[in-house]
């Protein structure tokens, strides 16, 4: 292969095109069957292409003598949980997480619920290259009926539902006092999240829980939480939670409709875990994207912070190696090490809601306690992804900016793992405008790698 098969979070691309065309999927299925012996568990989100991809992978694995258990629509963390708690040798999730419905992907879990390490990914990529391709029938994937698309093995996922309900931090019935808005992103959480919170007794307002195969993440969910925040205010709810398409991340809103991202939730949970003596190393693991304000707020609590490269797999590896109990990403992936080795949006929503219900936590106070440094992200399309440190014009501009900012700000530049983009992040103390610095770096990338206008977001 000229490029890596695995990206930041599994294998991802446009459904029906390499590496998610029928030939590539067949090879991937056979490679997994060769690498793992036993039963494979397959879950998927609500994208139209999920059913077809599931069928190809299942056929390929079974042709190699592997048993396959397809549970239908299930969240990514739910698949990890059932893989770990069952007798499966590998778990597979067909999902492109927060991407639009045209995209899809494959996430793979070991039998213990952990994502594959780098060595195992490379071994699978080698096997994929070596798999002989049989003559496959010429067929054009057709859209499945809605009933088939949304089917789920309810009896199979009951242990996961029980796990989520039992994770509540407050006494039984405490959530009955709460009114909660759940934005299910028309994705894999559309049944599970409401079921869990109904069992906990919460008063629910559920939105974006009618998937049709094409509306996953569209103007809703964790990537577009503004709709959830508005509904919180309109309905007089106590809080809101917005999941992404596969429900491994969550973004919250307080009763005033003000948003809380992963940085806020890490601070909230770190304080709680430290108070209850469940933060063994007094350290939180996050990524290079975390705001400098989080580090300052944790320091005031006597809690340290470690940064990893972007990706919840790297966060978990650092947690696992260092014995740290809490980690996550600004995007809303939060990992509780004593619960599950993967980010679980519904689990975190249960934890946060139960803490609010018990009176221990106020989301409004958490927002006040985290004073974020202004942070600006510039996404610049690129034609290729060379080592930009070796491009003189970019390297010299980075040095100039770092020299001016010193300890009052920072630059983070990285290529997207799933799109032809370079992401330029500038962060600086209040009173320093990061925009000119970001624009200057973007101009250097356009000159060197030639591309079009960027997408700017704060």
pLDDT of residue 455: 46
CB 283 within 8 A of CB 300: no
CB atoms within 10 A of CB 133: 11
CB atoms within 10 A of CB 237: 23
Structural domain boundaries of the chain?
A: 11-150, 155-369, 375-457
Domain 11-150 matching CATH 3.40.120.10: the answer reads yes
> Residue 273 phi/psi, 5° resolution?
-65, -35
**In a structure prediction context, what are the per-residue pLDDT tens digits for the chain, which is 458 residues long?**
446 899 878 999 999 999 999 999 999 999 999 999 899 999 999 999 999 999 999 999 999 999 999 999 999 999 999 999 988 999 999 999 999 999 999 999 999 999 999 999 999 999 999 988 877 766 666 788 898 899 887 888 999 999 999 999 876 677 999 999 999 999 999 999 999 999 999 999 999 999 999 999 999 999 999 999 999 999 999 999 999 999 999 999 999 999 999 999 999 999 999 999 999 999 999 999 999 999 999 999 999 999 999 889 999 999 999 999 999 999 999 999 999 999 999 999 999 999 999 999 999 999 999 999 988 999 999 999 999 999 999 999 999 999 999 888 999 999 887 678 999 999 998 889 999 999 999 999 999 997 554 444 44
Which tokens go with 376? 């600006």
CB 45 within 8 A of CB 132: no
Instruction: Supply the DSSP string of 234-287, one letter for each residue.
Output: HHT-SEEEEE-TTSS-EEEE-TT--EE-HHHHHHHHHHHHHHTT--TTSEEEEE
CATH class of 155-369: alpha beta
- Identify the helix (H) or strand (E) that includes residue 232: helix 226-235
Task: Report the SS3 class of residue 183.
Answer: strand
Instruction: Supply the DSSP string of 78-112, one letter for each residue.
Output: HHHHHHHHTT-SEEEEE--TTS-TTEEEEEEEETT
Do 155-369 and 11-150 have the same topology in CATH? yes
What is the chain's length?
A: 458
pTM: predicted TM-score of the whole model, two decimal places: 0.90
Which tokens go with 127? 């096997």
Single out the catalytic residue among 97, 170, 318, 354. Answer: 97
- Architecture of the domain defined by 375-457: 2-Layer Sandwich (3.30)
pLDDT of residue 3: 65
Nearest to 29 by CA among 38, 43, 40, 18: 40
Q: For residue 331, indicate whether it is catalytic.
A: no
């Amino acid at each position: 292969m000229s490029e890596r098969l695995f990206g930041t979070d599994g294998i991802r691309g446009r459904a029906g095109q390499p590496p998610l065309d029928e030939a590539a999927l067949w090879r991937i299925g056979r490679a997994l069957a060769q690498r793992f012996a036993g039963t494979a568990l397959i879950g998927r989100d609500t994208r139209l292409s999920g059913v077809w991809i599931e069928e190809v992978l299942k056929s390929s694995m079974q042709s190699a003598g592997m048993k396959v258990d397809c549970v239908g629509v299930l969240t990514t963390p739910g698949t990890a949980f059932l893989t770990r708690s069952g007798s499966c040798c590998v778990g597979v999730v067909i999902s492109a997480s927060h991407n639009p419905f045209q995209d899809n992907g494959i996430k793979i879990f070991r039998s213990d619920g952990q994502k594959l390490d780098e060595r195992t990914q490379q071994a699978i990529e080698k096997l994929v290259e070596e798999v002989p391709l049989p003559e496959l029938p010429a067929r054009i994937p057709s859209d499945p009926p809605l009933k088939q698309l949304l089917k789920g093995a309810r009896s199979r996922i009951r242990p996961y539902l029980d796990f989520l309900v039992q994770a509540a931090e407050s006494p039984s019935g405490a959530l009955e006092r709460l009114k909660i808005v759940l934005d299910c992103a028309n994705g894999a959480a559309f049944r599970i999240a409401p079921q869990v919170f109904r069992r906990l007794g919460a008063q629910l307002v559920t939105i974006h829980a009618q998937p049709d195969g094409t509306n996953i993440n569209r103007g809703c969910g964790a990537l577009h939480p503004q709709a959830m925040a508005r509904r919180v205010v309109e309905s007089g709810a106590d809080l809101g939670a917005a999941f992404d398409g596969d429900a491994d991340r969550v973004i919250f809103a307080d009763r005033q409709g003000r948003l809380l991202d992963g940085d806020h939730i890490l601070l909230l949970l770190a304080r709680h875990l430290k108070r209850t003596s469940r933060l063994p190393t007094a350290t939180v693991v996050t990524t290079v994207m975390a705001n400098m304000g989080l580090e300052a707020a944790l320091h005031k609590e006597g809690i340290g912070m470690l940064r990893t490269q972007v990706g919840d797999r790297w966060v978990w590896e650092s947690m696992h190696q260092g014995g740290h109990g809490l980690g996550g990403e600004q995007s809303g992936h939060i990992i509780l090490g004593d619960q599950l080795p993967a980010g679980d949006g519904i689990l975190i929503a249960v934890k946060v809601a139960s803490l609010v219900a018990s009176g221990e936590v106020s989301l409004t106070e958490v927002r006040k306690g985290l004073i974020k440094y202004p942070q600006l992200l510039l996404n610049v399309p690129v034609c290729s992804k060379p080592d930009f440190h070796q491009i003189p014009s970019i390297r010299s501009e980075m040095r100039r900016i770092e020299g001016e900012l010193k300890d009052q700000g920072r630059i983070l530049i990285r290529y997207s793992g799933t799109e032809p983009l370079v992401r330029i992040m500038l962060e600086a103390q209040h009173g320093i405008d990061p925009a000119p610095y970001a624009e200057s770096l973007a101009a250097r990338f356009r000159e060197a790698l030639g591309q079009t206008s960027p997408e700017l977001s704060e």
